[in-house]
C-alpha cells in the first residue's frame, strides 16, 4: 500500500505512459496524464473499495473477490 506522501512526492510523477491503480478487488489501468494531479490517492481507494463492496453485495458474493477485476481505459480503434 502506498502512502499519500509517497504518492504525491514520487509515484504520480513517474515517467511512464500508463498508470495502474490497484485496490482490494480491482485494478484500473489508465493513461498517466489522468493521475498526475491526483493528490488524495487514499480517497480514491476508499471510493473504489466502496464501489466494489456494492458490486459484491449486489451479486451476493464474498466482499473479497477470488481474483481482482480489471479495467483498461484505452481507446481501441477497430476500423
* Helix ranges (DSSP H) in 1-79: 4-9, 41-59
Category of 60 on φ-ψ map: left (φ > 0), alpha (ψ -120 to 50) or beta? left
The pTM assigned to this predicted structure is: 0.81
Parse the chain into domains and list their residue ranges. 4-72
Reported as a single tens digit per residue, the pLDDT across 40-68 is 989 999 999 999 999 999 999 999 999 99
pLDDT at site 49:
95
Q: What nine digits make up the cell of 61? A: 458474493
Cα(53)–Cα(50) distance, rounded to whole angstroms? 5
Amino acid at each position: 500500500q502506498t502512502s499519500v506522501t509517497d504518492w504525491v512526492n514520487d509515484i504520480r510523477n513517474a515517467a511512464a505512459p500508463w498508470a495502474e491503480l490497484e485496490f482490494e478487488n480491482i485494478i484500473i489501468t489508465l493513461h498517466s496524464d489522468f493521475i498526475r494531479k491526483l493528490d488524495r490517492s487514499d480517497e480514491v481507494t476508499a471510493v473504489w473499495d466502496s464501489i466494489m463492496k456494492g458490486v459484491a453485495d449486489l451479486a451476493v458474493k464474498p466482499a473479497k473477490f477470488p481474483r481482482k477485476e480489471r479495467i483498461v481505459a484505452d481507446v481501441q480503434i477497430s476500423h
